[in-house]
Amino acid sequence: MNGAVSTPSVLTLTLKNRRAPPNSDQDAAAAASTDVDMGMAKKGHLSNIAARAFFMTWTADDLLHVARFHWLPCVFAAGLLFFMAVEYTLRMVPSSSPPFDLGFVATRHLHRVLASSPHLNTLFAALNTVFVGMQTVYILWTFLIEGRPRASISALFMFTCRGILGYSTQLPLPQGFLGSGVDFPVGNVSFFLFFSGHVAGSVIASLDMRRMQRFELAWTFEVLNVLQAVRLLGTRGHYTIDLAVGVGAGILFDSLAGKYVESKRKETFVAAAPNPSKTITTTKEAFLT
C-alpha cells in the first residue's frame, strides 16, 4: 500500500540517535498498540498519544545537547520571548506623531551635517547615483554579454514586486528629507519608499558576483551598499525597514530567479530528449527558451 512518508526534522534525528534502539519485542508491542481504527475514538486512546508524545521522551541530557548543538534556534526562541515582552508593553506611536525610526536616531548627527552642507549632500548623492549605475551595468552585462539571465530576471521580479507593494502602501515622506537634483531618481521625482530598490539591486549584483567567484568585486559592492544605506538614512531617503526588507528582497528574488532558470533549463532538456541528435546551445536554447 502506498502512503506518504514524512521526513523527520534534524532536531528529531538528533535526539533519537542519542538513545539505544529498542529491542524487537518492544517494537512488536509498539506496532500492535498503534494498529487502531483512526476513524473511531477508543478508550484510553488520548492517554496513549500523550504517553507516546515526542516531548515526553526528553531528558535533561537531551535539552543540554540541544542547547549546545542547536544554539541558534535557542537564541531565536529567546528573541521571540524578548520581543513579545517589548511589543506588548511598548506604547504605540500616536497617529499625529511621525514614526519612530532607530536608523534616524543613529544617523541624526550625519543628518545635521548634510542639512548644513548642501554641497556635501550633492556630492554624496552623485556618488550614490554612480553606484546605482554600476549595479545596473553589471546586471545587464551578465545577460547581454555573458549570456546569464538570472540576475536580470531577479531584478525584474524584484522591481515589479516593489512597485506593487510601494503603490499598495504609500508611506509618507520622512520629516527632514534631504533631496538632491543629482540623486537617483534624478530630478527629485516621486519614488516609492517601501522597499529600497537601491539596496535590493546591490544585493542581487553581489550574490551573482559570489556565484562567479568574483569575491573582491562582491566585497566592494557590499561595502558600498552599507555606505549607501547609511547615506539614505542620513538624508531620510528611506526608513530603516525599507533598507532591511531590501536586503531580504534581493536574496529572495535571486533565489526565485534561480529556480525559474533551472526549471526552464530542465524543460528544454526534456523537450530535446526524444531527439538526441538535436544540438542545444547553452547560451540560447537552454537559457532563452
**Residue 96 placed within a domain:** no
List phi, psi (to 5°) of 132: -60, -40
**Residue 27 placed within a domain:** no
Q: Which three cell numbers stand for residue 207?
A: 550574490
**Residue 146 placed within a domain:** yes
Count of residues in the chain: 289
Number of H-type helices and E-type strands within the chain: 13, 0
Question: pLDDT for 138-189, tens place per residue?
Answer: 999 999 999 999 999 999 999 999 999 999 999 898 999 998 888 887 655 6
Taking residues 244-269, what's their average pLDDT? Answer: 94
Residues 132 and 219 in one domain: yes
Residues 68 and 107 in one domain: no
Cα 16 from chain centroid?
Answer: 31
CA–CA separation, 212 vs 53, rounded Å?
A: 47
List phi, psi (to 5°) of 173: -65, 130
Residues 231 and 122 in one domain: yes
Final residue belonging to a domain, choices 90, 122, 151: 90
Name the helix (H) or strand (E) containing 176. none
Active site residues: 198, 238, 242
CA–CA separation, 1 vs 163, rounded Å?
A: 50
Contact in structure between 246 and 195 (CB atoms under 8 Å): yes
CA–CA separation, 245 vs 252, rounded Å?
A: 10
Distance (Å) of CA 226 to CA 26, 126, 202, 208, 232: 59, 16, 10, 18, 10
Residues 264 and 148 in one domain: yes
Average pLDDT, the chain: 84
38 has pLDDT over 50: no
Predicted local confidence at residue 11, as pLDDT: 52
Taking residues 117-131, what's their average pLDDT? Answer: 95
Final residue belonging to a domain, choices 32, 67, 90: 90
**Residue 31 placed within a domain:** no
Residues 110 and 67 in one domain: no
**Cis peptide, bond prior to residue 185, ω within 30 of zero:** yes
CA–CA separation, 243 vs 238, rounded Å?
A: 7
**Residue 25 placed within a domain:** no
Residues 221 and 136 in one domain: yes
**Residue 271 placed within a domain:** yes
Residue 113 domain boundaries: 102-288
Residues 116 and 237 in one domain: yes
Residues 283 and 173 in one domain: yes
Other C-beta atoms closer than 10 Å to the C-beta of 256 total: 15
CA–CA separation, 257 vs 151, rounded Å?
A: 7
Residues 49 and 160 in one domain: no
Predicted local confidence at residue 26, as pLDDT: 54
Report the number of distinct structural domains present in the chain: 2
